[in-house]
Amino acid sequence: MYSAVIIMGGLGLIVGLGLAIASKVFYVYVDPKIEAIDDALPGANCGGCGYPGCSANAEAIVAGKSAPNSCVAAGPEVSEAIAAILGVSIEAREPDIALPGCTYGVPEADTKFLYDGVADCRAAAALNGGMKVCTIGCLGLGTCARACPFDAITMGPQGLPVVDEKKCTGCGTCERVCPKNIINLSSVTRRIIKEYTTEDCTTPCQRACPAGINISSYIDHIAHGDYRGAVQVIKERNPFPTVIGRICPRPCEDTCRRQLLDEPVAINFLKRFAADYEKQNGNRVQPYRAPETGHRIAVIGGGVEGLSAAFFTARLGHSVTVFEAGDRLGGLLRTAIAKYRLPDEILDWDIDGVLELGITAKTGKTLGRDFNLSQLIEQGFEAVILAMGGWDSRLARTGGRPEPKILGCRLLVDVLRQDQPSGALDGNVVLAGEGKKILEEAQACLTKGAKHVTVVTCGKLGQIEQDNIEIIEQAAITRLYGINNELTAVSCTKFKDGQSARIQTDTLILGAGRIPELIILPTMLTDSKDTDDEGQGQAPGSWEGFAPYKPVPSPLQNGLLVPGDVFTDFSAAIKAIAGGRRAAASVHKAIYGIDQKPAPNVLKPDSHIQNVYHVEEVLPVARNIMPVDPSAVYIAGSEIEKGYDEKTALAEAKRCLQCGLICYRRTAREVEKEVSENTAG
């Protein structure tokens, strides 16, 4: 018996020793932060964070791949606890929600592919692309509904996913499992910074609208008597619906599919009807906005572009102040449009709606004369958006008088109009422009006092040798550098190879009628990869400037005054609104270190996508005419166009075919159905 005890004890000693050695040999270090965060997480292991369990999410949080507030099953106290463990602070999280992006389900498709035994969208998509007719449309097999960990998605009667907003946590599981990119996470921020891609189900009118308004959606709201809902949709992309409803050139109507049968839908008149309904009721409809971020942004320019930039920046959650040189806001909308087309009362209503988002406006304040960049930075502004308009705006605002040099930037027209033959310029000058007279203009800069002129042009000038003039062809100015209120250098980038070079300069002269939109950031807020290799621009008060991303990205769209850029004021207010949104999105991306480049498949005018070139089974219905009063030209404050009444607006809204990418409502089928139902009754 004793021998058995001794043997067992010996074996235990050997096993214990082996385990001790193994613990040393196979020891795996676990970061105490990971353990602490894992303990703080609720342990639901729902996968809503995008990782297979809370432990994996804890590792991702410590690695910086997941946010402290990434757990969709936890409340704000958990996010705050995790932030405390990491030693960081968190901003209020903007809620995401799943948003289906298809309008017609499988039951309504013209051609159906049957997948016997296949009940998953991902598997069906692998079979010939899962096409019905539309290569983008929803396959309708409900994979997103089955994958949702919170039962927030069901398949509706049209065979399309329906999202329960109260249950949806914005975890993104549905987005990850959808093979057709139909269902995506949506939020105010996502919608503002989004550029439509070839993978989106867009309508012809929406693609033609410079602002990208969801036209079919707001017309559908009108057709169902939900006028406030229509205004809500319009203001997602347009802060001036009452104004634009009167003055828009209506490129959307040029592409309306209804004209394949009879006449385009009166899209803009319907926009005006919904906006006028809001004004007449005096009950303002404000668009959704993200939670406050605490970031302060200054916008220079109180015209339509500047106010639009302020509108979208405020909706992104930032605090905005607008500085306008004139005594009233509105720019060319107030000074260049006849009052019988756009009365001041209408303009003021939309401007007041913009300011009601919490935007501060200061009029009679000119940059470079009444305040400067260094003062804005000292006051705590983290970014500045320049949206000052062009030569046309200046004629209205200053009577054509030259404005002070702004951050080292001047317009060529001001330099050439200086009365003094010399002394107007000094030091090194960079001239950005093109055309046959660019060399003459460079020589004129020398006669005005410049010591050396570097010409940066998008075109080709050939081999030219001239004292104190240097030519850089097929290139553009891509970034500005300065200290306090002075320009110190610019970056010039070649189109062909993308190589950049820094040019030391005191003045940048722009051979156009406007100072382009610029985003100015203190150097400490810019990405380190954008700073100079030599470390320049790091002094106190240093800043960098760059243009917002372009509406149609391409290799030739990088920089200032490149082909396609607006050389004077925007040709239409709706285009200026789009420019303001891009500026706001660029500032937001810069503050948070988000890549400025839009998706590679962003929708362009020349993009090859499916489309419809004829319509069938649609009954012709005449367009409703806008009532007018020509005598209003002679009556102060009266408009020629009187607007639709409710009956007319409803009739016109029902003319809309409610298009998708290649689908549309067939009115003939609906009429036949109504006739058959009435006959049966």
Where are the domain boundaries for CATH 3.30.70.20 in the chain? 97-186
d(CA 539, CA 536): 8
Q: Does domain 201-288+610-681 have CATH number 1.10.10?
A: no
Return the bridge partners of 491, or none: 479, 502
* pLDDT bucket at 633, cuts 50 / 70 / 90: confident
* The residue to which tokens 């989004």 are assigned: 194
Least reliable range by pLDDT among 103-112, 213-222, 579-588? 103-112
Between 336 and 94, the more confident residue is 336
pTM summary value = 0.87
Token digits for 27? 């020891």
Question: Within its chain, how far is the Cα of 566 from the centroid?
Answer: 18
Least reliable range by pLDDT among 64-73, 139-148, 502-511? 64-73
Instruction: Indicate if the pLDDT at residue 380 is higher than 60.
Output: yes
d(CA 113, CA 653): 33
d(CA 565, CA 569): 11
Between 103 and 375, the more confident residue is 375
* The residue to which tokens 């319009």 are assigned: 234
Q: What percent of the chain has pLDDT over 70?
A: 88
Instruction: Indicate if the pLDDT at residue 151 is higher than 70.
Output: yes
d(CA 276, CA 283): 11
Instruction: Indicate if the pLDDT at residue 9 is higher than 70.
Output: no
Greatest pairwise CA separation for the chain in angstroms:
123
With H, G, I as helix, E, B as strand and everything else as coil, classify residue 319.
strand
Least reliable range by pLDDT among 100-104, 191-195, 268-272, 294-298? 100-104
Handedness of CA 31, 32, 37, 42 (dihedral sign): positive
Residue 105: DSSP 8-state: -
Query: Tell me: the pLDDT tens digits for 212-226?
Result: 999 999 999 999 999
* pLDDT bucket at 538, cuts 50 / 70 / 90: low
Q: To 10 degrees, what angle do helices 32-40 and 54-62 make?
A: 130
Query: Tell me: the pLDDT tens digits for 231-241?
Result: 999 999 999 99
Query: Tell me: the pLDDT tens digits for 592-625?
Result: 998 887 777 888 877 888 888 899 999 999 999 9
- Residue range 83-110: mean pLDDT, rounded: 81
Least reliable range by pLDDT among 231-240, 260-269, 565-574, 664-673? 664-673
Least reliable range by pLDDT among 288-297, 369-378, 434-443? 434-443
Query: Tell me, what's the pLDDT at 547?
Result: 92
Query: Tell me, what's the pLDDT at 533?
Result: 43
Instruction: Indicate if the pLDDT at residue 536 is higher than 70.
Output: no
Return the bridge partners of 646, or none: none
Query: Tell me, what's the pLDDT at 528?
Result: 43
Token digits for 284? 């303002």
- Residue range 165-189: mean pLDDT, rounded: 92
Query: Tell me, what's the pLDDT at 404?
Result: 75
Instruction: Write the CA distances from 290 to 143, 518, 614, integer angstroms.
Output: 30, 24, 41
Instruction: Indicate if the pLDDT at residue 184 is higher than 50.
Output: yes
- CATH number given to 31-90: 1.10.15.40
Instruction: Indicate if the pLDDT at residue 18 is higher than 70.
Output: no
Where are the domain boundaries for CATH 1.10.1060 in the chain? 201-288+610-681
Query: Tell me, what's the pLDDT at 470?
Result: 92
Instruction: Indicate if the pLDDT at residue 532 is higher than 60.
Output: no
φ, ψ dihedrals at 490, nearest 5°:
-135, 155
Query: Tell me: the pLDDT tens digits for 27-85?
Result: 556 688 888 888 888 776 777 777 777 888 888 888 877 878 778 777 777 877 888 88
Domain 97-186 belongs to what topology? Alpha-Beta Plaits (3.30.70)
With H, G, I as helix, E, B as strand and everything else as coil, classify residue 545.
strand
Least reliable range by pLDDT among 120-134, 244-258, 285-299, 369-383? 120-134
Instruction: Indicate if the pLDDT at residue 334 is higher than 50.
Output: yes
Q: What region does 600 belong to: left with phi over 0, alpha with psi -120 to 50, or beta?
A: alpha
Query: Tell me, what's the pLDDT at 373?
Result: 94
Between 10 and 600, the more confident residue is 600
Query: Tell me, what's the pLDDT at 537?
Result: 47
User: How many CA atoms within 13 Å lie on the side-chain side of 161?
Assistant: 31
Structural class in CATH, domain 296-591: alpha beta
Instruction: Indicate if the pLDDT at residue 131 is higher than 70.
Output: yes
d(CA 188, CA 95): 9
Alpha-helical runs (H) found in 66-177? 76-86, 121-125, 143-147, 173-177
Least reliable range by pLDDT among 131-135, 529-533, 640-644? 529-533
Query: Tell me, what's the pLDDT at 560?
Result: 87
Q: What region does 301 belong to: left with phi over 0, alpha with psi -120 to 50, or beta?
A: left
**To the nearest whole number, what is the mean pLDDT of the chain?**
87
Query: Tell me, what's the pLDDT at 219?
Result: 98
Instruction: Indicate if the pLDDT at residue 21 is higher than 70.
Output: no
How buried is residue 341: exposed, middle or buried, by Cβ count under 10 Å (0-12/13-18/19+)?
middle
Between 402 and 56, the more confident residue is 56
Query: Tell me, what's the pLDDT at 129?
Result: 72
Kindly report the three-state secondary structure assignment for every residue of 474-507.
CEEEEEEEEECCEEEEEEEEECCCCCEEEEECCE
- Residue range 629-639: mean pLDDT, rounded: 84
Least reliable range by pLDDT among 4-18, 105-119, 309-323, 493-507? 4-18
Between 538 and 640, the more confident residue is 640
Instruction: Indicate if the pLDDT at residue 535 is higher than 50.
Output: no
